């Protein structure tokens, strides 16, 4: 049994490698297990080859099972570490900040200086009373420059908050913890 002292970031990478290896073993096992059509005369060597093919499929399945168990245990440890370090809560909070930030950035795209303010609409006069100049409409800036300044201030504050939260999450992810994996599995997914 190998005991690894790793960060959460590394644990996630190892979990991805385990998942990838499981997928490869599954695909190979399925390939080995496929029904074979035999035509003509068969010999002992062909029979032996087909028996070995079935055995390889079963051996790959058993090996994949070990990797699946290791992955489940690692994911449980990752979840426990995330909870103990408050990462899940921080990620949820960061998501909220990022959503608020994105919303304000969309609104900022609508701040315009080339229209009239809503409160000036009633006093807006077309060129002449009988003119059809208003038929094309007039551009009304619902979000004026003052609202734009307020939104920019909020965007800056939210960006600082998001950066600070991201730094705290990175620090929490950098702390090490012990993970145990079977030696052969550890060698295959850690390069050791």
- pLDDT given at position 101: 97
Each residue's pLDDT, cut to its tens digit, for the chain (192 residues) gives 989 999 999 999 999 999 999 999 999 999 999 988 888 878 888 889 999 999 999 999 999 999 999 999 999 999 999 999 999 999 999 999 999 999 999 999 888 777 777 777 777 766 555 555 555 567 777 888 888 899 999 999 999 999 999 999 999 999 999 999 999 999 999 876
- pLDDT given at position 125: 66
The C-alpha torsion from 115 through 119 and 120 to 122, rounded to 10°, is: 120
pTM of the model: 0.71
Contact 94, 169 (CB under 8 A): yes
Helix (H, G, I), strand (E, B) or coil at 136: helix
Chain centroid to CA 143: how far?
Answer: 34
Q: Where are the alpha helices (DSSP H) in the chain?
A: 8-33, 44-85, 87-108, 145-174, 183-190
- pLDDT given at position 158: 97
Report domain extents, the chain: 2-36+44-122+140-190
**Interatomic CA distance for residues 131 and 127, integer angstroms:** 6
- pLDDT given at position 126: 60
Q: Of 71, 70, 93, 73, nearest to 172 (Cα)?
A: 93
- pLDDT given at position 129: 58
- pLDDT given at position 135: 57
Which helix (H) or strand (E) segment holds residue 139: the answer is: none
Neighbours of 148 (CB within 10 A): 17
């Amino acid at each position: 049994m190998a005991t690894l002292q790793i960060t959460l970031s590394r644990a996630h990478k190892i979990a991805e490698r385990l998942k990838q290896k499981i997928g490869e073993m599954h695909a190979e096992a399925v390939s080995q297990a496929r029904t074979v059509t035999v035509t003509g005369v068969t010999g002992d060597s062909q029979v032996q080859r087909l028996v070995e093919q079935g055995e390889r499929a079963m051996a790959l399945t058993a090996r994949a099972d070990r990797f699946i168990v290791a992955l489940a245990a690692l994911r449980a440890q990752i979840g426990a570490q995330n909870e103990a370090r408050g990462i899940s809560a921080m990620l949820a909070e960061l998501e909220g900040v990022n959503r608020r930030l994105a919303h304000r950035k969309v609104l900022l795209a609508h701040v315009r200086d080339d229209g009239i303010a809503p409160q000036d609409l009633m006093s807006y006069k077309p060129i002449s009373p009988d003119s059809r100049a208003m038929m094309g409409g007039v551009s009304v800036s619902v979000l004026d420059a003052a609202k734009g300044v307020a939104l920019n201030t909020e965007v800056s504050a939210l960006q600082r908050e998001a950066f600070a939260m991201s730094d705290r999450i990175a620090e929490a992810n950098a702390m090490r913890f012990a993970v145990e994996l079977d030696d052969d599995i550890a060698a295959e997914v850690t390069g050791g």
